[in-house]
Structure 1
Amino acid sequence: MPPFAAALLVFVASGAVLILENIAVRLVAPYIGINLQVNSAVIGTALASIALGSWVGGRIADRVAPRAVIGWMLMLGGVTTLLVLPVVRAMGKVLNGTSPVAVITLAGLAVIVPAALLSTVTPLVVKLQLHDLYRTGSIVGRLSSLGTLGGILATFITGFVLVASLRTSVILLVLGIVLAVGGLVCHLLLWGKSARAVAAFVVLGVVTTGLTVAAPQACDAETTYSCAKIETVKGKPSLRVLKTSNAEISHVDLKDPTNLSMGYVQAVVAASDLVNPKGRLDGFHIGGGGMTVPTYLERTRPAGDQLVYEIDSGLTELAKNRLGFKESDRLRVVTGDGRQGLQKQPANSRDLVVEDAFGSHSPPWHLTTAEMVRHAQRVLKPGGIYALNMIDFPPADFARAEVATLRSVFDHVVLISYDAILDGEQGGNVVAVASDRPIDTAALRRRVSARDSSKQLRVADEHRTGRYARGAKVLTDDYAPVDQLITVPLRYW
């Protein structure tokens, strides 16, 4: 085999493996979310696939003629790549959850078979190039570096170009077809004409391509960071529920955006009522989603200014196209990281800072630390409020640590949630309200009660809040194991 052809084969096969690895994270997100465990499972199974494929490829290379096998491995890699989408979407409905078994199994289904098949190509090609024992080291080193270079380039192209331009299904479809056709061409060039190979390729290609195209869509919109879908609510024709990675993040009433139905949203808005009631309120929002709170404040505090930092531009477009959201001079959305956006704000410029950003079931860790909270403290005007939404389950190690973090920065912190959650019996949303000035808990209770139709939301005073956070460690930029601290009960596995 000419050196150029050998280099191209190794480069393409290794690059395809890394494309699969990057796409797998997005492919499994609708069913098991996106967090550290999911990323670890995908990376781990991809590395296991590379190790398995390299070992198997080396064994095959010593037993049969590599020329007869290389094309088949590429073709099978392409065919199994085409099968990844329908298999994951079928099994995702069975395995959805956050248990280690579900996460690792679904990640394995998305990666392991095609990646292992494609990883056999390098040792097979190496065997064909080892015609001079005096150059063994340089040949192996050159092909190994080219394979690594292919993986690096594929990683950058996938992250910066493909995901931003194409749907996951399209990327897998094109990748599978390219590999299958390339494998057939490679087989014919290396081993000669084969009617059996052509027939098998055509049948498998047609079937698997059809399965990929016909696979049901898991999302209404595949954004840069999530799989988003909008659902209607039975008996409430104007209410829409926005979900990302299978978690409800926003309820929007298309007829009346000021009609708030989620308990934690009612809690956040009740806290905002404490700041200059019925007067001007300038808010900064980290995480927009369906833009429920910013829209509400724009409608009810017409003199104020609401600035939203939403990192996922796809969610913003979905809110505009499907949820009736409209920007205005007093309600602006910036696509970007919320912490970076907060750092750019002038001191004493906002009455309210709301942090309500999540990736799967956990918030991005850099939005949870004391350093982040200090930025919010700096931006707030005297008497301003920092409202933070959390989700955790007993023993609520993350929520308790986050409350301890808030208490290490702000002078006054209270909580809004349900008694069963505050007492550690159940899990769910906890809204923390922090300020450097005393918080009027009696007024907050009245406002929460007025908004909460269930009449079950409770305001924990500072003493009860202190008990809730007792013994918890403060989160910092140097120590914030958010994914490990959050508890997910078995019923969600």
Structure 2
Amino acid sequence: MTGSSSSPVAEGTPGDFGPGPRAAAVLVFGSSAAVLVVEIVALRLLAPYLGLTLETSTMVIGIALTAIAVGSWLGGRIADQVDARRLLGPSLGVSGVVVALTPAVLRTTAEWAPPVLLFIASLTILVPGALLSAVTPIVTKMRLTSLAETGTVVGRLSGVGTVGAIAGTVLTGFVLVSRLPVSGILIGLGTLLVLGSALVEWRTRGWSGTPALTLVVVAGGLATVVAPGACDTETKYHCVRVVADPDRGSGRTLVLDGVRHSYVDLDDPTFLEFTYVRAIASVVDAAFPGGEPLAAYHLGGGGLTFPRYLAATRPGTRSLVSEIDSGVVRINRDRLGLGSQAGIDVRTEDGRLGLRRLDSGSRDLVVGDAFGGVSVPWHLTTVEAMKDVRRVLDEDGLYVANVIDHGGMAFARAEAATLSETFEHVALVGEAADIGLDPAAASEGGNLVMVASGRPVDLRAVQDALDARHTGWRIATGDDLASWIGDARPLTDDYAPVDQLLQPYSPRSGQ
């Protein structure tokens, strides 16, 4: 950089030893992009342990913004007090090490010390975020040679940093997550940051300290490979594992983000392991004549257990499934035998959008079994969504939905109130204590099945089917259901605090 005749900057400014305009832009762009990559990937790392909820997203975003604020403030303050050349390399290097170690640290903590997971997760976002955010004021200090160009330099680098953040967000969301495991993304990013640190150190001060940092990154990568909690496949939305049933050779359990979502018997699609699936089958079998083919639509796919059941027990049934995660669809085809099932059409799409594309009165049955973590995606729970379900059902059509809740069951009550706003006939199926039929027993929560239709369903036949399948579940309807719902408020597109209503739980999905 060259000076001017204007007032000089403070003593100690590196002047000609600072990065040129292009190098400065690269440093600011790259560090700002890295902060957003870390933020987005942290959400995916934490989802298996904290759930993919609004609270988790809010926490991660809040910590990232705190890191940006702290790093920008401290970076500028320290750069005014010491030679800025001494700060740039360590900021990149240390942040690179922390980023590369993050998958191993978080997964190990989640397995062995879950009470401190939030604290450790905060540090793995805060430390690299602050160090990377400090790069912009440090580079700005190194680029300034006179007060006359302050506005130009600060404005240009701030703009470059913002563009970098946008690029990091878009690159991660649209490219990296769909092509690489999250551990690979963070190890690769950490390695790039350490290499950047080495290059900066070489250009300004020599290679001091960077070989050691590189070794730490390599060790972090090795640690991540053997860390607990690894996935068979990391898709756009889930950490996926397929677990063989040791007691049933053809049995497979699909595990998404640490939660058992589906059980599939490759040889016998009529075998239903999870209680809630047996309950859905009981409702459908009682509501429609045996063996009659149906036109069914499924919100959420998972392991496609129920579409397979319908195909096997009601030949000629046409099941259309909206599954948002293409990786889960691929797992179904490659490892869960989907190719051998006729009459099942799976579309990779959001369920609400898929529902909107269906013709009115085109379905006998709609099954709701979509989950993000342990909660139903909020936009599939509202009065507006249920009106669309009602629209696509024919006059004798049936809506059956799997819901999970615990504690005071606030979300489940609100969803039952929502269905009551839309359908004339609503019933709730579950453990007697959970649905208010056994007040003396403590409710533990878990899976519930909600049934809604424009016509009455033979509930006695449903109860007989539930008993025949040894579910132990009962049915609440009429006054019992109204009493259980209480003053719960229906959910709407304008008001659907699903994540706040859903109570904490101990993983028991798929009972």
TM-score, normalized by the shorter chain, greater than 0.5 = yes
Residue of structure 2 equivalent to 1:12: 30
Distance 1:199 1:440 in 2: 73
How far is 1:202 from its partner? Answer: 4.2
**Structure 2 matches for 1:277-316, cutoff 5 A?**
277-316=290-329
- Which amino acid in structure 1 is aligned with residue 429 of structure 2? I
Matched with 1:189 is: 203
Q: Does 1:163 align with 2:177?
A: yes
Instruction: Give the equivalent residue in structure 2 for 1:406.
Output: 419
- 1:261 alignment partner AA: E
1:3 is aligned, of 7, 15, 21, to: 21
Cα deviation, residue 491, structure 1: 9.2
1:217 shift after superposition: 5.3
In structure 2, relative to structure 1, the CA distance for the partners of 1:345 and 1:234 (3 Å cut) is: same
Letter matched to residue 393 of structure 1: H
Q: Point out where structure 2 has 5 or more consecutive residues left out of the alignment.
A: 1-18, 437-441
Separation in structure 2 between the aligned mates of residue 460 and residue 326 of structure 1, nearest angstrom: 39
Cα–Cα, structure 1 residues 215 and 122, in superposed 2: closer, same or farther, change >3 Å? Answer: same
Deviations 1:340-374 (A, max 9, x none): 11111111111100011111111110000000001
Partner of 1:362: 375
What SS is found at the alignment partner of 1:306?
A: strand
CA distance in 2, matches of 1:202, 1:426: 50
Whether the 8 Å CA contact 2:110–2:117 is kept in 1: the answer is: no
Amino acid at match of 2:163: L
Q: TM-score, normalised by structure 2?
A: 0.91
SS of aligned partner of 2:297: strand
Match of 2:146 in 1: 132
1:27–1:110 contact (8 Å) kept in structure 2: no
Superimposed CA distance per residue, residues 381-425 of structure 1 (whole angstroms, 9 cap, x where no aligned partner): 111100011111131111000000000000000111010111272
SS in structure 2 of the partner of residue 15 of structure 1: helix
Q: 1:305-331, CA deviations, whole angstroms, 9 ceiling, x for partnerless residues?
A: 111111111111112222222365511
Contact 1:61/1:127 (<8 A) preserved: yes
Q: Secondary structure at the match of 1:421?
A: coil
Percent identical across equivalent pairs?
A: 43
Residue identity opposite 2:455 in structure 1 = R
Length, aligned pairs only: 484
Q: CA deviation at 1:30?
A: 2.1
Which of 91, 99, 103 lines up with 2:109 in the alignment? Answer: 91
> Using a 3 Å threshold, how does the CA distance of structure 1 residues 106 and 231 change in structure 2: closer, same or farther?
farther
Asked if residue 464 in structure 1 is aligned to residue 480 in structure 2, the reply is: yes
Matches within 5 A, 1:223-242: 223-242=235-254
The residue that corresponds to 1:252 in the other structure is: 264
Please, which of 21, 31, 39 is the counterpart of residue 39 of structure 2?
A: 21
User: Aligned pair in 2 of structure 1 residues 396, 200: CA closer, same or farther (>3 Å)?
Assistant: same
**Among candidates 464, 467, 491, match of residue 475 of structure 1:** 491
- CA distance, structure 1, for counterparts of residue 214 and residue 116 of structure 2: 34
Q: Deviations over 1:178-234 (max 9, x none)?
A: 11111111111122x24x334434433443343334434521111111111122344
The residue matched to 2:139 in structure 1 has which SS?
helix
What TM-score do you get using the length of structure 1 for normalisation?
0.94
Match of 2:233 among 221, 230, 243: 221
Q: In structure 2, how many angstroms separate the alpha carbons of the residues matched to 1:208 and 1:441?
A: 58
**1:260-300 deviations in Å (ceiling 9; x for gaps):** 12111011111111123321211100111011000000111
Q: Mean Cα displacement is larger for which, 238-247 or 220-229?
A: 238-247
Structure 1 match to 2:468? 450
* Whole-angstrom CA distance in 2 between matches of 1:252 and 1:213: 29
State the distance in 2 between where 1:89 and 1:141 align.
40
Worse-matched range after superposition: 107-116 or 40-49: 107-116
Equivalent in 71, 74, 77 of residue 53 of structure 1: 71
Question: What is the distance in 1 between the residues matched to 2:245 and 2:199?
Answer: 52
The offset of 1:109, in angstroms, is: 4.0
> Which residue of structure 2 lines up, in the alignment, with residue 177 of structure 1?
191
What is the alpha-carbon distance in structure 2 between the residues aligned to residue 417 and residue 226 of structure 1? 28
RMSD: 1.9
Task: Report the CA distance shift for 1:131/1:295 in structure 2 as closer, same or farther (over 3 A).
Answer: same
Corresponding residue number in structure 2 for 1:70: 88
For residues 168 and 490 of structure 1, do their structure 2 counterparts lie closer, same or farther at Cα, with a shift above 3 Å needed?
Answer: closer
For 1:219, give the aligned amino acid: C
Greater shift after overlay, 64-73 or 350-359? 64-73
Gaps of 5+ in 1: none
Q: Can you list the C-alpha shifts for 1:431-471, whole angstroms capped at 9, x where unaligned?
A: 011000112111111122222x24x1112232322222121
Instruction: For residue 2 of structure 1, report the CA deviation from its aligned partner.
Output: 1.6
